[in-house]
Amino acid sequence: MGKKKLFYVSAVVGSFLAGSLIFSQKVDAVKAPDEFAVDPKQCYNCHALIKEFHSTGAHKDVNCINCHSGLHEHLKNVTKRPKTITDHETCGKCHKEQYESFMGHNYRKHLYYDKGDPKSRSPFWETLIRPYAFEIYHAEPRSHKYMLVDHLAADRAYGGRFQYRRGYQDVIQKGPVKAWEILFDAYPEEDPKGPRKVFHPRTAAAAVAMCLLCKTQDHILEWPYMGDPTPKSDINRTTNPVYIAKTYTNNPMNCYTCHDPHAAKPRIVRDALIEALTTRNDTLWHEGYVGRANIKVYGNKEGLGLRGYERKIAILDRYDTNLLCGQCHVEYNCGVLFDYEKSEYGKPPVPVDFATDRRSNHFPFIPIAKTDRYRIIEPTGMKHIEKYKFFDFVHYVTGAKLWKIQHPEVEVYYFSEHAKIGATCIDCHTDKGQAGFAKRSSGDKIVKSEKKFTSHFHASPRDFNWRPCLKCHTDWTPKDAEYAVESVKAHVKGKMRKAEVWLRELVQTFQRAKDWGVDEATLNKARKLHEEAHMYWEWWTAENSDGFHNPRHALATLARSVQASWEAIDLLNKAIAEKRAKLEGAKK
């Protein structure tokens, strides 16, 4: 497991896999004509850091003109800024197989399949999450190439403002997915920088600027570090995401999110992750794990930015999927946020100021709890909330101050048995490209190649006929692997369902307690327990493996969720009984 691996977050192209569920788009390699090339040394005169990266890396012979336009005008007049090309096709000119596999489509993953569906992860979702916007729409994930367009079209994000040009025909795309070729602004007369608005019934305009950061990095050069407001850039944490989306974005999850285009080395660009790694000592990266990469951060003082505001990237000394995938597949603050300490139960919550408070762009990057033998030994999630004092919404019945979890796959996997032996995201969620791929060996001649490559189509082992499992479990058949995986998931899903049932019972009991006039001190104790029970349940509803990534961890924390709900229910029922006894005594 110690070998360096070419990493990407997606897996194999379907037309080359027997029984595959995906298709792809082909791109031919194209070299920039020599007469258009520029002398990189001219660029190095100002961009010293780029010289360090480019002149020593695998891309040293790739001319600047391949990834930037307007260079000749820029060299004549430095005030004329060149354009950086951000699409996947540019990389696909050389990295053909990787590009084609990334553009695959997984037919097993459908759009609009909501986690609140009775057959999905959380049939009581609306009761437990209201009034948070995810109550309106909380979709199961699908292929990475749809990340941006699915976000823009989500009912909870932009109030129905962005619609498919051809209706439901556009939910499936062959090849690259360009947001504004598929979507259109149904209300172009509305100011994109103005207040966020709801246009259609049962939708919400809940997206904020940080939501876009794990869907696309098209705006990477315009985004100041941590989204801090600066007069040098027209976007920041407070900007209406409608403006950012329409002005700067079109492509999903760019190649350079994980691969530095100049140094051709692994990197991370997500500012909140870099901030967590460099300003704290309590993240899972600081805890250490098999295959952990060291990082070197580059900012303005190292020569990264020439635009007048801070930007940062971090170069990795090896491919580390906890960091690379951890730019998105993690819990992070990305919506309206409230201050826990300043907000009082029963009163309107006090919002966090996005302009001045970096908690609005925050990665905890910790496990929800440390466990041993199915028991919690350290409530790391509760401690984090106590330290940073934030929450996402107030429950509509209990008034509890609740944390809305995102998708903490990396944090969940960290303590797992698979992680301890050094298995990584790409070992299970990608498949090596198979022999027989065509390559361009000379001119237009196509020959068969035995070359293997790291696929960029990300999916479940199921989509690769369980081959990733069989690499280690050599005595298994695909049916054996499926049986084992589904058995683990069934165990955890059963516990998730029970945690959800008791949370619903807590909410209903709380309503009865209010109706009986139970005192605020007792209600506040129940609210605290609700906050704990909710956190340990929703961690697994938000995570997308149904607990398979770490079943022991899931069972331990879900058990605590049930226990906390029971404690709250017992507390409230006791108070209700006392009220009833007093009432009956008064009647006598």
Q: pLDDT tens digits, residue range 326-338? A: 999 999 998 789 9
Q: Provide, rounded to the nearest whole percent, the portion of the chain with pLDDT above 70.
A: 91
Residue 440 confidence class, pLDDT cut points 50, 70, 90: very low
What is the rounded CA–CA span in Å between residue 562 and residue 37? 65
Least confident residue range of 14-18, 106-110, 152-156 = 14-18
Q: What dihedral do alpha carbons 212, 361, 306, 260 form, nearest 10°?
A: -60
What confidence score (pLDDT) does residue 413 get? Answer: 94
C-alpha to C-alpha distance for 482 and 462, rounded to whole angstroms = 7
Taking CA atoms, 281 is separated from 61, 229, 420, 546, in Å, by 39, 26, 21, 29
Nearest-angstrom CA–CA distance, 271 and 291: 22
Beta-strand relationship, 162-164 and 183-185: antiparallel
**285 neighbors 314 (Cβ within 8 angstroms):** no
Q: Please provide the DSSP assignment of 493-505 as one string.
A: HHHHHHHHHHHHH
DSSP at 328: T
> Is there a contact between 266 and 7 (Cβ–Cβ < 8 Å)?
yes
pLDDT of residue 451: 61
Strands (E), 395-518: 401-402, 437-442, 445-449
Domain 477-587 coded CATH 3.40.50.720: no
The closest of 205, 206, 203, 191 to 246, measured between CA atoms, is 191
* Res 305 pLDDT > 90: no
Exposed (0-12), middle (13-18) or buried (19+): which is 478, by Cβ within 10 Å?
Answer: middle
d(CA 554, CA 367): 11
Asked whether the predicted pLDDT for residue 125 surpasses 60, the reply is: yes
Q: How far is CA 8 from CA 1, 89, 97, 154, 223, in A?
A: 16, 16, 12, 26, 24
φ and ψ at 563, to 5 degrees?
A: -65, -40
The single-letter code of the amino acid at 250 is N
Q: How far apart are CA 123 and CA 110, in angstroms?
A: 18
Rounded to a whole number of angstroms, the distance between the first and last alpha carbons of the chain is 76
The whole model's pTM is what? Answer: 0.90
CA separation for the pair 503, 223 (Å, rounded): 40
- Give, to the nearest 10 degrees, the angle between helix 478-515 and helix 520-542: 160
How many angstroms separate the CA atoms of 341 and 508, rounded?
A: 27
CB 366 within 8 A of CB 284: yes
Task: Indicate the DSSP class of residue 15.
Answer: G
pLDDT the model gives residue 139: 85
Q: Please determine, for residue 19, whether its predicted confidence score (pLDDT) is greater than 70.
A: no
pLDDT digits (tens, 9 = 90+) for 389-406: 999 999 999 999 999 999
Query: What average pLDDT does the segment 406-419 reach?
Result: 93
Mean pLDDT, all residues of the chain: 89
The residues, ordered by sequence, that sit 6+ positions from 169 with a Cβ below 8 Å of its Cβ are none
pLDDT digits (tens, 9 = 90+) for 238-270: 999 999 999 999 999 999 999 999 999 999 999
Q: Is there a shared CATH topology between the 14-95+427-470 domain and the 477-587 domain?
A: no
Does 130 score more than 60 pLDDT?
yes
Average pLDDT estimate for 512-526: 97
Classify residue 13 as exposed, middle or buried by CB count within 10 Å of its CB (0-12, 13-18, 19+).
buried
The amino acid occupying position 422 is G
Is the pLDDT at 164 greater than 80? The verdict is: yes
pLDDT in tens, 27-61: 444 444 444 899 999 999 999 999 999 999 999 99
Query: Which residues on neighbouring strands pair with residue 286, listed in sequence order?
Result: none
Preceding omega of 123 cis (within 30 degrees of 0)? no
For residue 113, give the nearest of 94, 140, 92 by alpha carbon.
140
Distance of alpha carbon 91 from alpha carbon 28, whole angstroms: 11
81 DSSP 8-state letter: P
CATH class label, 14-95+427-470: mainly alpha
pLDDT in tens, 547-564: 999 999 999 999 999 999
The DSSP secondary structure of 291-305, one letter per residue, reads TPPPEEEE-GGGT--
pLDDT (0 to 100) of residue 114: 84
The domain locations on the chain are 14-95+427-470, 477-587
Residue 339 has pLDDT above 50, yes or no: yes
